[in-house]
Structure 1
Amino acid sequence: MSKVLTAYEERHLTLMDELGNSSDIRVLAENRGPLVTAYGDAQTVAEKLVQRFGVVLDASLQSHFLRFRNLACQWQTTSADRPLTGEFGLKNLYTSITTGPLEILRDFPSEADRRLASGLRLLDDQPEGGAGSFAALRIQPGRSFPEVWYFTVAHGFQELDIGYADYLDLLLTTKGVYDWQYLFADVSLRETECNHVRNRLTGMLNLFPGIFPECDYSDLRARLRERM
């Protein structure tokens, strides 16, 4: 299997470079791989998932296949006047699906949450500073576009109105700022308990257009307005 990076894998390494090379950002921790070639390319992985586990993913998702075992970064802004933090930890899709249900499944007191968690496979976590937050794919029979769910200790599970490919694309724009996922959840950010989420997202949309002018933040601004 080729170790030459695909164009989409290159885009995510460019994200890492953008954070590391910016004078406005200080990278606290990062992990760049390694590249997992043993499972094959995107089409081969898709075929293995069907044959071995009965998991069918739509062919359109293959363009977003990342072979990294782990691609992670934790960062913060350098300005004390405008503090902002973020983190992502993308997992290898094949490994996540084949590993099985989340280890924390048994920790949920609610039967509904345990039932939901039994179908979730880890997509993105925040082990350094996310206080247990993570995003996961919900694998269901007959569904070739898995749902994406976001979990925080404070607010529990929230289904996002984006798919797997969208999530990876949006990470390139949001840079993994904590709780960016709430822009795609059916929640109101006007409530007092959401103050910290609202402040982070407002900070991102105030700061990032100046730090990353090549990114378009207009859609994210509109989504924040809808939730406020």
Structure 2
Amino acid sequence: MDEYERSEHQSGQDVDAALQELMSVSPNTPPDAAGAHLLQAERVYVRWHRDDYYLDGEFALKSLRSCLSGNYVTFEDSRLAEDQREVMRDLKIFEEAPGSGRMTGIRFPAGGTSESEIWFYDMNQLTLESLDIDYTTYLDTLLATGGVAGWQYLFADLDFRNDAFRGIAKDLGEMLSYFRQVFPDRDYEPLLHRLEARQ
């Protein structure tokens, strides 16, 4: 591990309110499992690499309370289409890889009738993708992948045979092969199926 930083929560955190917020963004999460997804810190940052440096990961995870509170910076990318820029302005960022230009946020569609959406922005690929994933599944998968670059694309509707994504697909294949050996008790089959479906 190259870096690990953990900032403490501000005093007076209301756990019940935090659980309600979590259930509002992941209503399908069983209530008895929701507490395990509450971040016990304001922010956690991790950066690591394998000994051969071929595989690495990075993530900075913000507490859901901070994400939803409105105390965040609005990101813009003028290279995106106008409808995508509008989505990006609505995003409340809860996870990013500061060294890579990638970030993920929650969006609540106008009208308040639809469930929250998870969107992934990648400055390097110039993409803003809607992800087929909820907040708690995102956290579980983030930990399972260790923040390897581009794992979020496994939950996006795209084709890895596209030249722009072939390198990412290769790295994700290496990650899944390696992690299945290192963490034999963790089930990586669903991620492997997603990778194969996009190749």
- TM (norm. structure 1) is 0.75
- The counterpart of 1:75, out of the listed 48, 66, 85, is 48
1:205 aligns with 2:176: yes
Cα pair distance change 1:109/1:144, threshold 3 Å = closer
Q: Give runs of aligned pairs for residues 39-118 of structure 1, distance below 5 A.
A: 39-41=13-15, 43-45=16-18, 56-57=24-25, 58=27, 60=29, 62-63=34-35, 64-79=37-52, 83-99=54-70, 102-105=73-76, 107=78, 110-118=81-89
Write the distance in 2 (CA, Å) between the matches of 1:208 and 1:116: 34
1:147 aligns with 2:133: no
Residues 75 and 85, structure 1, Cα contact 8 Å, conserved in 2: yes
Write the distance in 2 (CA, Å) between the matches of 1:139 and 1:46: 18
Write the distance in 1 (CA, Å) between the matches of 2:28 and 2:131: 21
Name the aligned partner's letter for residue 120 of structure 2: Y
1:161 aligns with 2:132: yes
Structure 1 position 107, deviation (Å): 4.6
Write the distance in 2 (CA, Å) between the matches of 1:121 and 1:148: 10
Identical positions, percent: 28
Write the distance in 1 (CA, Å) between the matches of 2:150 and 2:4: 19
Name the aligned partner's letter for residue 18 of structure 2: V
Instruction: List gaps (5 residues or longer) in structure 1.
Output: 1-26, 50-55
Which secondary structure does the structure 1 equivalent of 2:172 belong to? helix
Which secondary structure does the structure 2 equivalent of 1:118 belong to? helix
Structure 1 position 175, deviation (Å): 1.3
Name the aligned partner's letter for residue 7 of structure 2: G
Write the distance in 1 (CA, Å) between the matches of 2:2 and 2:8: 19
Residues 121 and 127, structure 2, Cα contact 8 Å, conserved in 1: yes
Structure having the higher Rg = 1
RMSD: 2.4
Write the distance in 2 (CA, Å) between the matches of 1:206 and 1:172: 16
Structure 1 position 106, deviation (Å): 6.7
- TM (norm. structure 2) is 0.84
Cα pair distance change 1:59/1:188, threshold 3 Å = closer
Give deviations 1:9-62, integer Å, cap 9, x for gaps.
Answer: xxxxxxxxxxxxxxxxxx111112313443311x22366x7xxxxxx5448474
Structure 1 position 109, deviation (Å): 5.3
Write the distance in 2 (CA, Å) between the matches of 1:152 and 1:175: 17
